[in-house]
Structure 1
Amino acid sequence: MGTDIRHAVVMGAGMAGLAAARVLADSCEAVTVIERDRLPDASGPRAGVPQGHHVHGLLALGAEVFEGYFPGLRAELERAGAPVWDWGEGLCAVLPHGTPPPTPMGMPIQTFSRPLLEHALRRRVTALERVTLRDGLTVTGLRTAGPGKVVGVRVKDGDGEDEIAADLVVDASGRSSHLPQWLAALGLPSPRTTTVDAQVGYASRTYSYPEGQAPPSWMGLLQPLRAPDFPKGCYAIQIENNALHVTLHGAGDTQLPCGDEDFLAYAKTLRGPIAETIASLTPTSAVRRYARTVNRKIAYHRLARWPDGLIALGDSVCTFNPAYGQGMTVAALEARLLEQMLRSRRTRTPLDGRDFQKRLARITVSPWLMATIPDHAWGHPRSAWPIKAGNWFMNRLIDTAPHDPRVYTTFSGLFHMTAGPLALADPRLLSSVLVRPRPGESLRTTTA
């Protein structure tokens, strides 16, 4: 282990920050995680994660990576009531052209609330001897030794301002990151920012089952949006405390529900069993709405200069429309990249931050396309032909899934990032997707 990174500072105690701190604890003498929020002692939502009230999904690949860093995590969450189930058998997918029958895939999925997972990870990370978590502290800027080297951060709390020295600073502060402004203050050019906004909003709440009432036969219910004909959808999952967590989606000008009656009324406008399911359940939370779903990518990897002693990851660099459930898994993969680069560097060689940002950008390519190709169809009717072609093919793939178990399994692997794009090159799969007609197919519902 090189001793060049004696102390690392991680900004943000969300998923990306906790995963990074876990990895850094193996290579640094000390790791300080700084969080603006006052963190709860138990599992519960917090102000800095407003989307914590909404359904979250940890993809199969992300669950594997987290289990590797936190052995026994799945069993711990299961003891807390988070069910484990096979994606192909337990999901009711209400797709535009049908619902695939139960299809065993050997793809274990675990469903829980975001606060439960974050609390479990936070407890594991803070138990590490080398990690210190300081909450209620706001980072106000970078501490530098000239424009080319970051040597710590400036912070403030209710008692005043202070500085914390560090050999490596990790920005995992999420969507609210101030890193572009801080880099500009160092005289670096502004990185290019790309956004794709489908103007999707959410409304969510949790339910309990009345005594004696059995839960539904499915563990998860998915009804995706699709431009232009399907501006409404939902995702519902069974979670801890024998609860059902329901998020209703709406795109464009769709009016989302605010209260009890219109939540059920909105659900009744959807195909599938969601309205029938929740009609007899007992609400256990208020209706919460959320609309910050823009996909945003900051091209730090294209900057010609990058300060030593600094990296950025997680939502600070690339955020996805949460409807696709990719954020936590991408954060896990970025932590794995950090571990690989820390292990492979020569003793006493600093971490190459510019190279890290370039490699991180490659990790985000596929999930970015999975999220933005369908989202382009809502707000960008004149999209470039590769995007239109990609959206057309993805729609054909989804339309074939209810009628072909092989296609459904392949698409599920792509969705959960356990399979790469090359899985689509199977000639039999391409034949099913491109040639076989779909019942009730129309040009309008299969093109961008």
Structure 2
Amino acid sequence: MPMGTGVRHAVVIGAGMAGLAAARVLADSFEAVTVVERDTLPSAPGPRAGVPQGHHVHGLLALGAEVFEGYFPGLRAELQQAGAPVWDWGEGLRAVLPGGSPPPVPMDMPTQTFSRPLLEHVLRRRVRALEPVTVRDGLTVTGLRTTGPGKVVGVRVKDGDSEDEIAADLVVDASGRSSRLPRWLAALGLPDPRKTTVDAQIGYASRTYSCPAGQSLPSWMGLLEPLRAPDFPRGCYAIRIEDDLLHVTLHAGGGTQPPHGDDDFLAFAKTLRGPIADTITSLTPASAVRRYARTLNQKTAYHRLPRWPDGLIALGDSVCTFNPAYGQGMTVAALEARLLEQMLRSRRTRTPLDGHAFQKRLARVTAFSWLMATIPDRAWAQSHPAWPVKAGNWFMNRLIDTVPHDPKVYTAFSSLFHMTAGPLTLADPRVLSRVLIGPRPSGNLRTTTA
């Protein structure tokens, strides 16, 4: 789109989860939306270079699934038709916790599991079908187009050796962890935004398994064995996904290295307390072992800059990234899109979006998820954590140790984890007292089996 047109146009940098969710929202308010993606996007579900974490287990929390279903009606059914199973979290999950494994508890909390490439493919197809939206892949954004330091009016792009400009009334940076926005803002005379990083130095190794003839997949739909500093430096998360595959991610922290190859993968699994080793021994590997180590939590305080250019916002991993082990990223992207929708609807017709106000409100949207990820990760990252971190970890560990012994606490914690309930859930005297009293083991604890 050449400069100088009068069309109300939004440009989204990045066709990942945050970019697709933003494009869906913008399509209701702008006459044209262009999604610019550096990768050449696959025509079928499959990994791509810009999403190296796509080889690993992903989870869409219950709240995120609800928000995406609202923006893309029938999404769950479409994913289910593609083979993604739906199951109740309380009944289908086998959690191997430091204090034991909770028995199955019906929670009426539908959970759907799939590979990241499948979800992204279905959402990308839905977004492409929106009349105002154009997706341009294989195109790199090299900078912002401005009229002075206070207003962004588009982006500069490069396609091979060819350079061009795309005009925009609003530019949305959803380019992820590799965002170059701080550099672009510095060119406009803005100070370098403060970054906060919590790196637990956790590594992953993942692969998928198929079920040979005569064998059967495990009765559980998901298996969770979380890490906990300092005594549990190894864990896993495994889920049933499309094509009757089992997707397994092994986690390593505290200086432990994730496995590299076939033999290492099984040997690592055998060191875990849960049934994952027994399960995969009878299955057939359907992929190579893939490793991933960019698991740091990082937030960029754009909301604290003294000024912010008009015509620009940032969201998704460009602003706040989480250790993927906690499964919050895609749900937070959905909540940020919902915030964008709310702010677009509340403004007067054709009044520009207040980008500075958006960044401030976005910081509040991500605050609780940031705490949920960084409280346990600081226990790995800091040899002598401050007392608030110690207190937070003590409470979270007490809560998780109570889960196997108390269905009410298990349900409350699951609602908190899936973000269908806020932190005030834990202030309920009936829940808080049970956590403070601590676990009271009973004879009905289930033992994990394959």
Choose 46-55 or 246-255, whichever is displaced more.
246-255
**1:8 aligns to what SS in structure 2?**
strand
Pairing partner for 2:20 from 18, 21, 28: 18
- Deviations along 1:156-213, one digit per CA (max 9) or x if unpaired, are 0114111111000000000000000100110001110000000000000000001122
Question: 1:79 corresponds to which letter in structure 2?
Answer: Q
Instruction: Describe the shift of the 1:156–1:91 C-alpha distance in structure 2 as closer, same or farther (beyond 3 A).
Output: same
Question: Are 2:223 and 1:221 equivalent residues in the alignment?
Answer: yes
Q: Which range is displaced more, 319-328 or 255-264?
A: 255-264
Match of 1:378 among 377, 380, 399: 380
Greater CA deviation, 134-143 or 252-261? 252-261
1:233-244 map, 5 Å: 233-244=235-246
Q: Which residue of 2 aligns with 1:182?
A: 184
The one-letter amino acid of 2:223's match is: L
| Structure-2 separation of matches of 1:381 and 1:363 | 29
Q: Which amino acid aligns with 1:49?
A: V
**How far, CA to CA, are the matches of 2:395 and 2:185 in structure 1?**
40
Q: 1:96 aligns with which of 76, 79, 98?
A: 98
Shift in Å at residue 255 of structure 1?
A: 1.9
Aligned to 2:147: 145
Gaps of 5+ in 2: 443-450
What is the aligned length? Answer: 438
Residues of 2 paired with 1:372 and 1:5: CA distance?
Answer: 43
Separation in structure 2 between the aligned mates of residue 169 and residue 5 of structure 1, nearest angstrom: 14
Quote the Cα distance in structure 1 between the aligned partners of 2:114 and 2:153.
38
1:439 CA displacement: 5.2
Q: Helix, strand or coil: the match of 1:241?
A: helix
| Alignment correspondent of 2:254 | 252
TM-fit CA distance, 1:438: 5.1
Runs (4+) of structure 1 exceeding 6 A deviation are none
Task: Tell me how far 1:252 sits from its aligned partner.
Answer: 2.6
Contact residue 401 and residue 407 of structure 1 kept, 8 A: yes
8 Å contact 2:401–2:438 — kept in the other structure? no
Partner of 2:416: 414
More displaced, 219-228 or 159-168? 159-168
SS in 2 for 1:433: helix
Q: 2:301 is aligned with what amino acid?
A: A
1-structure distance, mates of 2:83, 2:439: 43
Q: 1:93 to 1:358 in 2, by over 3 A?
A: same
2:405 aligns with 403
Which of residues 272, 275, 287 in structure 2 aligns to 1:273? 275
Distance 1:411 1:437 in 2: 14
Letter aligned with residue 414 of structure 2: S
Q: How far does residue 238 in structure 1 lie from its aligned partner after superposition?
A: 0.2
Cα gap change, 1:5 to 1:233, in 2 (>3 Å): farther
Q: Which amino acid aligns with 1:256?
A: P
Residue by residue over 1:248-280, the C-alpha shift from the partner in whole angstroms, topping out at 9 and shown as x without a partner, is 000031121111111000000000100000001
Mean Cα displacement is larger for which, 94-103 or 343-352? Answer: 343-352
Gaps of 5+ in 1: 441-448
Task: State the alpha-carbon separation in 2 of the partners of residues 104 and 304 from structure 1.
Answer: 49
Cα distance in 1, alignment partners of residues 6 and 368 from structure 2: 33
Match of 2:209 in 1: 207
Coordinate RMSD, CA, aligned = 1.2
Alpha-carbon distance in structure 2 between the residues aligned to 1:244 and 1:158 = 39
**Identical-residue share of aligned pairs (%):** 83
3-state SS of the aligned residue for 2:243? Answer: coil
- Pick one of 132, 135, 149 that aligns with 2:137: 135
Structure 1 residue 382: Cα displacement: 2.0
